[in-house]
Amino acid sequence: MFAWIWRGLRTGIVTTRYPSAAEAMPSAYRGRIVIDLNRCDPAACRACADACLPRAIVVQRGTVRLDLGQCITCGLCLDACPTGALTMTNDFELAVRRREDLITQIRGVDHDGNAPTPTG
């Protein structure tokens, strides 16, 4: 905060150059959550869904569905996931044109042993 004020006083620039040049976010910034398909097995686990208070993550019938439109980036799902499949990035550019583009849905390992796949 003070660094930002000091920079403004020193340079005379009080706004950022976004979107032509994005500001670096603090390392602790909580942004987009991503799911590692190779580590997630929603057919056998639903720990993230149980931890998610706003129900941004729902696990049903071997499919995990993450709705970034409902996510409050609390991080509880990351702590709950037993395989480390969830990562919180510092990506803050979540704007989309269609509501459904905020939703990630993956299907777990099927009975033939095929790997999880994104379904939308």
Q: Binding to ligand SF4 by residue 85, rule CB under 6 A? A: yes
Subset of 19-38 contacting ligand SF4 (CB under 6 A)? 33, 35
Q: Binding to ligand SF4 by residue 114, rule CB under 6 A? A: no
Looking at 3-11, 19-27, 66-74, 91-99, which segment touches ligand SF4 (CB under 6 A)? 66-74
Instruction: Name every residue whose Cβ is closer than 8 Å to that of residue 61 and which is 6 or more positions away in sequence.
Output: none
| Contact residue for ligand SF4 among 34, 73, 102, 109 (CB under 6 A) | 73
Q: What are phi and psi of 13, to 5 degrees?
A: -100, 120
Q: Binding to ligand SF4 by residue 119, rule CB under 6 A? A: no
Q: Which residue has the tokens 């670096």?
A: 24
Instruction: Name every residue whose Cβ is closer than 8 Å to that of residue 34 and which is 6 or more positions away in sequence.
Output: 86, 87, 89, 104
